[in-house]
Structure 1
């Protein structure tokens, strides 16, 4: 039986400008127009997109967005003029700018001088945000190359204490500009990589304008998945344990301290993603294999055969992704969060150069958000994504169906025996046990939108935003 529809209004939908195509081929105004046309309420501004826009304006482009000549402006004056132009364009299209991102490398502090450098760098973005009339800055945790920052001389506790002090100072600075700070753990963060650590720091900072930024990919991509394992599931992890952790999150982090929610799913990579000296495996996976939530293969979507709302008790059939995104979204909703749902998807498809790339991604994204909302509002007590979670006692869940959609074997695999082997091993994976599962080295998943899995993760280093 379908649960009654909840009475909450639909959350505002946004998409990160980065998720509409690379700035090498697709400029920020084009992305803004497409976002408005497809029915979003807002657009996150990605700093490289803004930087590219400034460069283009300096070259004489986008003159129609300015009501006065902008030649001979200083760098800071040009930043200001460009930010106002972007704000005015969004306002004319009834779009909000809910988030400016990312502010990187605000981490690993060993002295006040190091913090001062970070604060000086932040000032430029805070000035731009005031002109954009955007009040939330995303500050992410970071991958820190060798040597590892934690040692006997500099402990994890000392590291976190330094983060607390630095974020207090950043919060004080941001308050002067009317800006809030959202702290996000990246799944490949060297030290800070999960919501528990971020919440510990935010709680100790104890400032109204410093809060947590949750991201479904980065949370689940660290605590549930591991592209370095043959199964792509973290060794020893189960869906039940992950759901218990998400329940803890919903009961621990106050709704008012969740400043923003970013949504993305992912597919399994074609090959195991090994850590390199300059790039961890999760970063490789993140940059190449994210997809939009509740996204079906193009063959089913285009034919009209796919409708997850026809069966709310098992809506995962055909999804491209495998992370429990709808479960996490349900727990975020249950926590009392009623803010933005925003898409942040990296994928090799963003490198496509044709003019329709932004529209394709925007259309896929808005469809995924609408489907996700229909699932959540129709079943707000976490009976979502094909998993019925029954709360028998605190922290205890039972799963009535597989934790992830089945792996899809491409028609070009050319080996029926291999396909059969994978299917039997997937059965083991989906039994939600802690048994180690060994899958063949290459699993392809393709769709009409492009090769999301990429047969080999041979993406040019220049394509990554690190």
Structure 2
């Protein structure tokens, strides 16, 4: 289907917005009135420039406060409207958005409102203009789309139809069944917007927190199914008011916007085919609507099909001074595999967990998470999907005989590598790490220990790192997100990798609330909590890799015996733990002796501990008992407070 975007979604001048929309691949744009009013170019020049870019000008918006007024006020509205109709002729546009009255309505009688809309449409017809009437969620008398449709039906003018805006419909929780019953030819325009689910007045919610499809919590696929069933044949347009989007790079935002529309069309097609619905059987339960909508399948943009990743193959830490990272891995029982044959990179392994340490000379001093490798059933299909979504590819130098991977740049800057299954040769890259180099309990690692919390004496530290490995793999990876690109990251992992999204939650820390949203595969073998720190935080947000463990108590003892103390946990935490869960006193004492943390949900129990932070990276070791599904969120404030205390005390 044709795609369009409102200029209000984007930063910059009107010319810049038009260029960005064309460069991203949109077919057309809605022109927001204020963007045209402040533009230095004439309406004719804007018309010609859009044509040069290959963009259609789909909608002029908005015209406000018309219906439900006194006759004197309505005559003034007609005067305003005629000026705008003449302007639209100069710009070369023939469709205007008319919002339901918010500010001047005093007459709530349907007959009066329908009559006034009809008279406005008659004037518009003289200028060759059509009107799309939209019910604002906060409209004085008209605030739901079914009411707006009744008024349009009653006015009965060929150039008067309705505009359906998903925010105004879904934010109020209006059922969307009636969308399928509105004749498609009377739906003159459709504006799509997603939003995080919030308890907020709809006006503030709309003006500041809309996001592109796939970045929020609305059921846009269900809306699309009903829209298609009704026969709508116009463009799918985006109208997103968002403080961040109006500040970020206009070209990047436009690409993110088009990506969301491609993803939504693909999701809608899969919903109709019954292959992609998260709510299983929904399409079948609405069989009549689905059949009518399915006739339009060929008009929807489809993406290459690719299954979600099976596991996290590796996590890469990059920095110039990584001795402390090596020391942490050593104390956790990781084995040093060796250095790469052609790159300044080393590999550490334990069980199915692999950590790559990159000492690239141009890397930042402070170690940070640089890349993640994902094992996928079909890496080539996943790469084709990422390309179709216009995800930026990461160039990678590969030596003769070395394994090649497709790699893409996530919105937060993390490099994402797409790896074939190990059974199909996807682990051949491991054999490239065989060159000698530092590793294990070396002088550099011992010296680095001085920057961490050590316990025990030298004799203990020298002889307590052995024993079988207890870590089995990577349980999850927490990634810090720039606030301006947080929604883009959610869509990236959802659209490009096919991960699911959990509702977000806020975690209190010493410097403010941290928002966290988890993306994951259906089996839980890939889990990525995406965290956004408070706006005014000046230091970089920490990230971490969490390792799965079969026996976290034994590993915690082994770590302490090897000379490393995990992140300190205050005694007040264990007093609270006793009160919350009624745990055995001896069990709590054992947890406290090892700085272990505990949580419980309806599925099972969770034991974990954290290491100290090196640069912006730390490690966590977790043990899930009997199907525990969370991430120890109640313990995150304890971790953040302890990290903050240590950081501020060290200066």
Q: For the superposition of Structure 1 and Structure 2, which TM-score range results when normalised by the shorter chain? A: 0.5 to 0.7
**Structure showing the higher strand proportion among its residues:** 2
The 1:375/1:84 distance shift into structure 2, 3 A limit, reads same
Cα deviations by residue, 1:222-267 (Å, 9 ceiling, x for unpaired) = 235xxxxxxxxxxxxxxxxx3xxx22320x2111101011100001
| 1:77-126 deviation line (CA, Å, top 9, x unaligned) | xxxxx111110000001100010000011133122x22211010011111
For 2:171, the equivalent position in structure 1 comes to 221
* 1:288-437 pair list within 5 angstroms: 288-294=208-214, 320-352=215-247, 357-380=249-272, 386-387=278-279, 388-389=281-282, 390-391=284-285, 406-410=502-506, 413-414=508-509
Deviations 1:190-249 (A, max 9, x none): 21011111110000111110001101111111235xxxxxxxxxxxxxxxxx3xxx2232
Partners of 2:270 and 2:277 within 8 A in 1: no
Match runs of 1:175-324 below 5 Å: 175-224=125-174, 242=175, 246-250=176-180, 252-269=181-198, 272-273=199-200, 281-294=201-214, 320-324=215-219
Gaps of 5+ in 2: 290-499, 519-528, 537-651
User: Which position in structure 2 is the counterpart of 1:100?
Assistant: 60
Report SS of the residue matched to 2:272.
Answer: coil
Match runs of 1:4-15 below 5 Å: 11-15=1-5
Matches of 2:80 and 2:95, distance apart in 1? 16
Retained in 1: the 8 A contact 2:23–2:251? Answer: no
Instruction: State how far apart, in whole Å, the 2-side matches of 1:289 and 1:382 are.
Output: 31
What's the counterpart of residue 98 of structure 2? Answer: 139
After superposition, the C-alpha distances for 1:49-88 in whole angstroms (9 at most, x for unaligned) are 01111xxx2xxxx5xxxxxxxxxxxxxxxxxxx1111100
Q: Tell me by how many angstroms 1:358 deviates.
A: 1.5
In our comparison, the structure showing a higher alpha carbon Rg is 2
CA 293–180 in structure 1, closer or farther in 2 if over 3 Å, else same: same
In structure 2, how many angstroms separate the alpha carbons of the residues matched to 1:447 and 1:33?
31
2:19 maps to 1:19: no
Change (3 A) 1:171 1:446: farther
Count of residue pairs the alignment pairs up: 310
SS of equivalent residue, structure 2 residue 58: coil
CA distance in 1, matches of 2:127, 2:532: 45
Provide the rounded CA distance (Å) in 2 between the counterparts of 1:360 and 1:447: 20
- Segments of 5+ residues of structure 1 without an aligned counterpart are 1-10, 63-81, 225-241, 274-280, 295-319, 396-403, 424-443, 452-466
SS of equivalent residue, structure 1 residue 379: helix
| Counterpart among 34, 38, 50 of residue 52 in structure 1 | 38
For 1:223 and 1:282, the matched residues in 2 are separated by: 11
Alignment of 1:70-109 (within 5 A): 82-109=42-69
Deviation of residue 383 (structure 1)? Answer: 7.4
**1:462 — aligned with what?**
none
Q: Distance in 1 between matches of 2:61 and 2:274?
A: 30
Structure with bigger helix share is 1
On the 8 A contact 1:110/1:162 being kept in 2, the answer is no
Which protein, 1 or 2, shows the higher relative CO under an 8 Å CA cutoff with sep ≥ 6?
A: 1
Counterpart contact for 2:137–2:172, Cα < 8 Å: yes
| Partner Cα distance (1:132, 1:373) in 2 | 30
Q: Structure 1 length as normaliser, TM-score?
A: 0.61
1:42–1:392 CA distance, 2 compared to 1 (3 A): closer
Q: Give me the TM-score of the superposition, normalised by structure 2.
A: 0.44
Residue 18 of structure 1: CA displacement?
Answer: 0.3
In the TM superposition, residue 42 of structure 1 has moved relative to its aligned partner by: 0.3
Tell me the distance in 1 between the aligned counterparts of 2:130 and 2:276. 32
- SS of 1:329's equivalent? helix
1:100 alignment partner, SS class: strand
CA deviation after TM superposition for structure 1 residue 337, in Å = 0.8
